[in-house]
Chains A and B, each alone.
Chain A
């Protein structure tokens, strides 16, 4: 069974899209919704500006690849996003925007910087106080968590379905994709103690008598033993556990300090688990996790950006540079819509990635102190 809330939302958007195409030219008729025609090669946003306040985008995926749609403020601060829009479907994005310049992006294949367009919001909005900026940061990030967890449930459900149907190739293809949404928000998941090991634990981390469950257990079944005929119950439990953690993540308020530490912890994850290939030791899909950790770290820092720009603009510049350097190094190892396998990278490749992560993680470790020392 597919989970109802999202399915209903999707259906609703589809119906709305039908009449939204004309509405774009007559904003009053369609509640001011802005249509976005997304394909594998184009991202046509019907309007390039809007008045400050609530802005609604209706994104129709007319391409063959799954796409995503983002609204970014400066420094790729995610103001709003919809993940995982399958071909033929439409989704709505409702976002609160103050006056300023933004960018929209469609990401066919869910990779890279995407197809960008400028977007201007006019009107007046009062500058935020420091506390308000931090409150805004946590609200922004919470929204990011919500969108990631939505996609996490969808992709994990597809993964679990494939495992239970014995479709090994399909399951193998979905494994790193489902994990992407997990890895982007992993520090949030780690707040909830015993669920994280059940979902993401590795075999050597188990205590005597503890059962090996979660993504990596199925990874082992898929890649090492090659037998998923008995993996059904593990797969069911994975989905139950993921749903539990998603519910907790979306109902637990985060503090700005948790964002700052989360950004650092995600890079620690890269440094300790992904560079070494420990995380996905059977599938060697560590670079998917690597990229997702970096994206998640970037999202947390982007949410804190207004605060950081005020307190230490030079640090913001450094972080922008170092994030770009990590992304550039990682891009060398792209393979199609995904990544090369960890065990095909040379020692020199890994050292380069390690150096780039260290260069980013040291300045990022300063963010928590800045946020706390307001």
Chain B
């Protein structure tokens, strides 16, 4: 295990070095220590939110297909046990991938044999459909526990949302430093859930586009720009209490200490973007492409100054992405972003099917994500190069403190 973990770190560092030499002046800092290590599953908060963003994502949304609450609870209990095991680097079931009799199918699918825990986190969220299904039915008698903050997101101008890859009754965000470990976790949960839940849609992400810790370098999205410079960070505990974690009194008690997840799959029309001159790209974003500094500053973390003008025009354009998204322009609304780059093959028209799988966590999506996205959808110069194709909102309860508790217990029982 240790050997493998070490190899992983060395490999990544080497890749980083090669990139740094050819593409940037400053060397890339060492990745966060212990890429093979386990992240604790139990805790006051669910892991996978302020946990330093891992490199890989497999996100999955399920429809609940049973009408029986007992079946759903039993599955969530089985999921929790499997999740605790898999995040610790163990097989999904107690018999294991190769520990059983030859006549029976194994209780673990086996593709993670020999791989370290790889920082795997599994974060669960409950969607609006769990409280009332598409026909308005309160299947599990929990409609009265639905938080107002979990109301469906509105339609934003320009949205081209495909319902088949949107929404869902339950989501699981699996993040790890090894994609195989993340996929293994989702696959085993889906298998355990058969008959109770059915995979509605799932999304792989291959490169984090946000840093959620001051120890992490800001990563780049597929437009080649640093993404999430002004993100909330794990170390900013006061800001997290104000913007990220649901407080007592915000809504139903079962969500106190949790957070709301918004997912948006944003297709990037990278081919046309790549033909755009560097200066125009930087004007659209409002930051320089190299260092990520605001056009009014020198370093990445300089605060953008939206008042500075040159030749009577604002240096950071009125329709630039950074201006429209910045908390200073949105009544202080901030989010913790945790998105990933994706490429889902190609689109049959000679173009990569590529983009950003945006994930944000916040105390109330309708006070944070929604106003920001409204502003962006109306005027963002970037809209020419992006299409929002999937959307989801989920309530992620607080963490589990010990193995005698399980996902969904407080909400459903």
Contacts and interface: CB of A to CB of B under 8 A. Distances in A.
B191 A368 contact: no
Interface in B98-116: 100-105
A369 B198 contact: no
A358 B198 contact: yes
A50 interface: no
Contacts of A368: 103-105
Contacts of B191: 362
A363 B104 CA distance: 11
B100 A362 contact: no
Contacts of A358: 194-195, 198
Nearest to B191: A362
Contacts of A322: 195
Nearest to B65: A355
Interface in A346-371: 351, 354-355, 358-363, 365-366, 368-369, 371
A135 interface: no
Nearest to A264: B105
Contacts of A360: 195
A372 interface: yes
Interface string B82-100: 0000000000000000001
A42 interface: no
Interface string A141-172: 00000000000000000000000000000000
A275 B100 CA distance: 31
Contacts of B196: 359
B104 A373 contact: yes
A372 B198 contact: no
A372 B194 contact: no
Interface string B172-215: 00000000000000000001001110100000000000000000
Contact of A369 (B65, B101, B195): B101
A338 to B, nearest CB: 27
Nearest to B100: A369
A312 to B, nearest CB: 12
A372 B104 contact: yes
Interface in B331-382: none
Contacts of B102: 372
Contact of A355 (B100, B104, B105, B198): B198
Main secondary structure on A side of the interface with B: helix
B89 to A, nearest CB: 25
A351 B195 contact: no
A373 B195 contact: no
A359 B194 contact: yes
A310 B100 CA distance: 21
B195 A365 contact: no
Contacts, number: 40
Contacts of A373: 101, 103-104
A315 to B, nearest CB: 13
A362 B195 contact: yes
A354 B105 CA distance: 20
A37 interface: no
B195 A257 contact: no
A371 B103 contact: yes
A305 B105 CA distance: 20
Nearest to A367: B104
Nearest to A363: B195
Query: Which of A257, A365, A366, A369 has the most chain B CB within a 10 Å cutoff?
Result: A369
Contact of B105 (A257, A351, A365): A365
Contacts of B194: 358-359, 361-362
Nearest to A318: B195
Contacts of A355: 65, 195, 198
Interface string A317-361: 000001000000000000000000000000000010011001111
Contacts of B195: 322, 355, 358-360, 362-363
Contacts of A362: 191, 194-195
Nearest to B197: A355
Nearest to A369: B104
Query: Which of B102, B104, B105, B198 has the most chain A CB within a 10 Å cutoff?
Result: B104
Nearest to A371: B103
B129 to A, nearest CB: 15
A366 B95 CA distance: 13
Query: Which of A359, A361, A371 has the most chain B CB within a 10 Å cutoff?
Result: A359
Contacts of A366: 104-105
A198 to B, nearest CB: 30
Interface in B222-260: none
Nearest to A355: B198
A168 B197 CA distance: 44
A373 B103 CA distance: 8
Contacts of A369: 100-101, 103-105
B291 to A, nearest CB: 48
Interface in B110-142: none
B65 A372 contact: no
A372 B105 contact: no
Contacts of A354: 198
Contacts of A257: 103
Query: Which of B65, B101, B102 has the most chain A CB within a 10 Å cutoff?
Result: B65
A136 B194 CA distance: 32
A354 B63 CA distance: 13
A221 to B, nearest CB: 34
16 contacts: A351-B198, A354-B198, A355-B65, A355-B195, A355-B198, A358-B195, A360-B195, A365-B104, A366-B104, A368-B103, A368-B105, A372-B102, A372-B103, A372-B104, A373-B101, A373-B103
Complex A-B, nearest 6 residue pairs according to Cβ-Cβ distance, in ascending order = A369-B104, A359-B195, A372-B103, A362-B194, A358-B194, A355-B198
Interface of A: 257, 322, 351, 354-355, 358-363, 365-366, 368-369, 371-373
